[in-house]
Amino acid sequence: MQKKSVLVSLLLVLALVLSMVPSASAAPASAGMACAQTYTIAAADWLSKLSDKFYGSILAYWPLMAATNQKNLEDKTFAHIDNADLIDVGWKLCVPSKADAEAFLKTFDPNNPAALFGSGAKGQLVVGSWWTNAGEFAGLNEIFKQYKTQNPDVEIVNATIAGGAGTNFKGQLLTQLIGGKAPDSFQLHAGLEVETYSPGTYVVPVDDIYTSAGFEKVFPKDLLAMLKYKDHYWGVPVNIHRSNVLWYNKTLFAKAGIAAAPATWDEFFATADKLKAAGVAPVALGGKDGFELQHTFEDILAGTLGAEGYKGLWTGKTKWSDAKVTDALNTFKKYISYANADHDALTWAAATQLVIDGKAAMNIMGDWANGQFTAAKSTDYGWASSPGTKGIFVALSDSFALPAKAPNPANAKAWIAQAGSKAAQEAFNPLKGSICARTDCDLSKFNDYLKSSAADWAKDAIVPSVTHGAAATPKWATKGYADAVVLFATSGDVAKAQAALVAAAVDAGFPQ
Q: With respect to ligand GAL, which residue has the nearer C-beta, 15 or 67?
A: 15
- Is residue 368 near ligand GAL by the rule CB under 6 A? yes
Instruction: Build a one-symbol-per-residue string for 466-505: x at contacts with ligand GAL by CB under 6 A, - elsewhere.
Output: --x-------------------------------------
End-to-end CA distance of the chain: 62
- Is residue 241 near ligand GAL by the rule CB under 6 A? yes
Q: What values do phi and psi take at 489, rounded to 5?
A: -60, -30
Q: Cite the DSSP H helix spans in 441-482.
A: 448-459, 474-475
Give, as ranges, the residues between 155 and 184 that touch ligand GAL (CB under 6 A).
164-166
Q: How far apart are CA 391 and CA 458, in angstroms?
A: 10
Closest CA to 160 of 66, 19, 361, 312: 19
Q: With respect to ligand GAL, which residue has the nearer C-beta, 339 or 365?
A: 365
Q: How far is the CB of 50 from ligand GAL (least distance, A)?
A: 36
- Is residue 82 near ligand GAL by the rule CB under 6 A? no
Q: What is the 3-state secondary structure (H, E, C) of 16-65?
A: HHHHHCCCCCCCCHHHHCCCCEEEECCCCCCHHHHHHHHHCCCCCCHHHH
Report which DSSP code applies to 480: I
- Is residue 351 near ligand GAL by the rule CB under 6 A? no
Q: How far is the CB of 154 from ligand GAL (least distance, A)?
A: 24
Q: How far apart are CA 10 and CA 179, in angstroms?
A: 24
Q: With respect to ligand GAL, which residue has the nearer C-beta, 79 or 350?
A: 350
Q: How far is the CB of 420 from ligand GAL (least distance, A)?
A: 16
Q: With respect to ligand GAL, which residue has the nearer C-beta, 202 or 291?
A: 291
Give, as ranges, the residues between 185 and 214 that touch ligand GAL (CB under 6 A).
189
Q: With respect to ligand GAL, which residue has the nearer C-beta, 169 or 332?
A: 169
Q: With respect to ligand GAL, which residue has the nearer C-beta, 320 or 368?
A: 368
Q: How far is the CB of 451 from ligand GAL (least distance, A)?
A: 19
Closest CA to 187 of 223, 151, 239, 228: 239
Question: Would you state the torsion angle of the CA atoms of residues 103, 109, 110, 115, taken in this order, to the nearest 10 degrees?
Answer: -80
338 SS3 class = coil
Number of residues forming the site for ligand GAL (CB under 6 A): 13
Q: How far is the CB of 181 from ligand GAL (least distance, A)?
A: 23
DSSP 74-103: H-TTS---S-TT---TT-EEEE--HHHHHH
Q: How far is the CB of 356 from ligand GAL (least distance, A)?
A: 16
Give, as ranges, the residues between 380 and 419 that touch ligand GAL (CB under 6 A).
396, 398
Q: Cite the DSSP H helix spans in 376-478.
A: 409-419, 422-432, 448-459, 474-475
Q: How far is the CB of 136 from ligand GAL (least distance, A)?
A: 5
Burial 114-136 (b: 16+ CB within 10 A, else e): bbbbbbbeebbbbbbbbbbbbbb
**Residue nearest to ligand GAL as judged by C-beta position:** 164
Angle at 83 between CA 79 and CA 87, to 5 degrees: 50
Residue type present at position 496: K
**Binding region for ligand GAL (CB under 6 A) out of 18-26, 129-137, 328-336, 378-386:** 129-137
Q: With respect to ligand GAL, which residue has the nearer C-beta, 24 or 369?
A: 369
Give, as ranges, the residues between 454 and 473 that touch ligand GAL (CB under 6 A).
468
Q: How far apart are CA 445 and CA 312, in angstroms?
A: 36
Q: How far is the CB of 345 from ligand GAL (least distance, A)?
A: 17
- Is residue 130 near ligand GAL by the rule CB under 6 A? yes
Q: With respect to ligand GAL, which residue has the nearer C-beta, 389 or 434?
A: 434
Residues contributing to the site for ligand GAL (CB under 6 A): 130-131, 136, 164-166, 189, 241, 366, 368, 396, 398, 468
